[in-house]
Amino acid sequence: MIHRLSTLFVRTLRDDPAEAEVPSHRLLVRAGYIRRAAPGGYTWLPLGMRVLQRVEQIVREEMNAIGAQEVHFPALLPREPYDATGRWTDYGPNLFRLQDRRGVDYLLGPTHEEMFTLLVKDLYGSYKDLPVWLYQIQTKYRDEARPRAGLLRGREFVMKDSYSFDLDDDGLQRSYDAHRAAYVKIFARLGLDVVIVKAMSGAMGGSASEEFLSPCASGEDTFVRCSACDYRANTEAVRIGTVPAIDASGTPAARVVDTPNTPTIQTLVDLLNGRDDLRRTPSDASASGNAGAWSAADTLKNVLVMLRHPDGSRTPLAIGVPGDREVDTKRLEAAVSPAEVDAFGDADFASRPGLVKGYIGPDVLGEKKPLGIRYLLDPRVVAGSAWVTGANEPGHHVVHLVHGRDFTADGVIDVAEVRDTDPCPTCGSHLRIERGIEMGHVFQLGRKYAEVLGLQVLDEKGKQRVVTMGSYGVGVSRAVAAIAELHHDQLGLRWPRSVAPMDVHVVIAGKPGDDTGPAAEALAAELSKAGLHVLLDDRDGVSPGVRFKDAELLGMPMIVIAGRGVAKGVLEVRDRIAGTTTELPIDQVAAHVIAASA
């Protein structure tokens, strides 16, 4: 089919849109694929629509190939099922809630576990009906705190979500493996390299889950890969290995030290190293893993945050981490989800005068202490380890404070930052940190949803059994941006053939009335007859220079230029993917382009 630029609904922009933070966003707007319509909401223009539809089609084909069946739910959903599972509340401010004219509550679906569970419950009742795999490609709504980067994080976006229903755990494993394998194929066809990592389950609940991340500098997720074994995890899901307890029998008694003018950990460490009477002991040394002088790793930093729960209530949380590490906000958010994390503000300090800012120590922390602040420790703060920490008095610290002997906490929380070269929890080699875009997520949900919503079937012995479920998502609109993020150069987009909106872009680059127009038209007709989608730049009054620039920006895999060469019987063929430019005799061009597009 021939699509003429003279009538195609598209306008390219010379300048980058002001709000665009990443290349894909910049290029998709400049090349006229999408337009921003609302915060986190984008209009698909004809070229963008074609890419979206091709991505959807690849996803659909691979889902159908494993035997999943397509259905379609409304996006406007009733409150009750989401109340039953607690997600009406747990989703907190991320859920779009609304009311109809009678004042009845509805939501715009952020994901559809509840609805699929109820659908299967409605229609199925026997083990013989299982397994069944259902999916939809549908618009989802989430009131994201930070919509960003165009299609990468929208508040309205397209997702493929599928759900598996099985009688037993082996069945669930098979369903999960089938989806995982289908995802590997989908991302390969989309031209996206992905790394499969261990993940957290978040508001979804359930047990095992993995994410498909596309490595990319502008990705919002960070993940680790072990340099030696096959351990891979989202940093949110990294659990440091067990740290052995320490024998503190030789550690001196805890002692409060006057430490004036030590507002930072470094000033404190310098002061300690200047004091001959404050030698490090083996338990101090083993806590930080290095003998010799005191270092930031010998100090215990108590970080305070406020947790905002889905019901709006707020509770304080204190986290004790070795002073050489920060608390990683994303790891913390994932660990306390569905609660959200707020800073511990001046008002929070003011209402708790027992907290001495900058000198907070374990003495005043813990649920059973008068302040009632829940206190959790990094797993590195093992029993027997000795620490330098706040003495709850301005200008004072305590040294040799031993965990288990001198203080206790309410539990453990593994949310300290993960660093490049940290040891791998599986094999001890070095971890490497990379960034990526989350493209897909597969979950073994188990029986959580089926139990609450009463999805049971009769087993072979006539007994009611709760069904076990999996849920599997692909970010379809996000994929369009991720592909653009990966496939572009300084000139513009460079679509892989599998998703390009057109196969070839034919440019008329001569003067009105010369023989370039007829040559281009003839080629376009021949390519179209062979089944290719041809974008033909037949615009009036647009200079050849602008046409070349637009062709590069729009990013079709092949560009054919009918210019000065036509007089000599040749056309210029540019392969945007291979980055090559060749001149070919006019009568060979069609065969060349058709072969390359196959």
| Site string (184-213) toward ligand ATP, x via CB under 6 A | ------------------x-----------
Residue number closest to ligand ATP, CB atom: 475
**Rounded Cα–Cα distance for residues 231 and 236 (Å):** 14
Half-sphere exposure of 91 (CA within 13 A, CB side): 21
Q: Quote the CA–CA distance of 350 and 375 in Å, as a whole number.
A: 19
Burial of 590 (0-12, 13-18, 19+ CB in 10 A): buried
Q: What's the rounded Cα separation, in Å, for the pair 31 and 34?
A: 8
* Rounded CA separation 172/299 (Å): 46
For tokens 């397994």, name the residue: 131
User: Which member of 33, 157, 163, 187 binds ligand ATP (CB under 6 A)?
Assistant: 157
298: helix, strand or coil:
helix
Report which of 195, 415, 250, 248 is spatially closest to residue 325, judged by C-alpha positions. Answer: 415
User: How does 211-250 read in b/e, with b if 16+ C-beta sit within 10 Å?
Assistant: bbbbbbebbebbbbbbeeeebbbbbbbbeeeebeebebee
Instruction: Give the separation between CA 337 and CA 237, rounded to whole angstroms.
Output: 13
Is 436 one of the binding residues for ligand ATP (CB under 6 A)?
no
- Binding segment for ligand ATP among 359-367, 433-441, 455-463, 529-537 (CB under 6 A)? 433-441
What, of Mg ion, ligand ATP, none, does residue 459 touch, CB below 5 to 8 Å by kind? Answer: none
150 is a contact residue toward ligand ATP (CB under 6 A): no
Q: Is-contact 500 51, C-beta < 8 A?
A: yes
**Residue 34 beta carbon to ligand ATP: minimum distance, rounded to whole angstroms:** 13
| DSSP designation for 22 | S
Give the span between the Cα atoms of 299 and 390, in whole angstroms.
Answer: 9
Closer to Mg ion by Cβ: residue 158 or 457: 158
Question: Which residue lies nearer to ligand ATP by CB, 51 or 321?
Answer: 51
Closest approach, Cβ 441 to Mg ion, in A, equals: 4
- Is residue 25 at the binding interface for ligand ATP, with CB under 6 A as the rule? no
CB of 212 to Mg ion, least distance (A): 10
Minimum CB separation of residue 438 from Mg ion in Å reads 6
Task: Quote the least distance from Cβ 236 to Mg ion, whole Å.
Answer: 10
Nearer to ligand ATP, 131 or 475 (CB): 475
State the binding partner of 575 from Mg ion, ligand ATP, none, CB within 5 to 8 A by kind.
none
441 binds ligand ATP (CB under 6 A): yes
Q: Nearest CA to 29 among 41, 49, 13, 53? A: 13
Q: Which C-beta is closer to ligand ATP: that of 110 or that of 131?
A: 110
Contacting ligand ATP (CB under 6 A), which of 159, 172, 364, 399? 159
Q: Bridge partners of 434?
A: 223
Q: Is 111 in the site for ligand ATP (CB under 6 A)?
A: yes
Rounded to a whole number of angstroms, the minimum distance from the CB of residue 284 to ligand ATP is 39
Q: Which stretch binds ligand ATP (CB under 6 A): 16-24, 151-159, 300-308, 362-370?
A: 151-159
Per CB under 6 A, does 438 bind ligand ATP?
A: yes
Of 489, 513, 488, 493, nearest in space to 505 by CA: 493
Q: Considering only 186-194, 458-466, 469-477, 566-574, which stretch makes contact with ligand ATP by CB under 6 A?
A: 469-477
Interface with ligand ATP, residue 90, by CB under 6 A: no
Q: Which does 60 bind (CB under 5 to 8 A by kind): ligand ATP, Mg ion, none?
A: none
The secondary element (H helix, E strand) that includes residue 234 is: strand 232-234
Q: Which residues contact 77 (CB under 8 A, 6 or more apart)?
A: 106, 107, 108, 109, 112, 114, 115
Q: Which residues contact 332 (CB under 8 A, 6 or more apart)?
A: 305, 319, 341, 413, 415
Contact with ligand ATP (CB under 6 A) among 60, 112, 153, 301:
153
Name the nearest CA neighbour of 565 among 513, 515, 512: 515
CB nearer Mg ion, residue 237 or residue 520? 237
Q: State in angstroms the smallest separation of the CB of 29 from ligand ATP.
A: 16
Distance of closest approach, residue 229 Cβ to ligand ATP, in angstroms: 25
Among 144, 348, 521, 575, binds ligand ATP (CB under 6 A): 144
Q: Of 111 and 136, which has the nearer Cβ to ligand ATP?
A: 111
The contact set with ligand ATP (CB under 6 A) reads 111, 142, 144, 153-154, 157, 159, 202, 438-441, 473, 475, 477-478
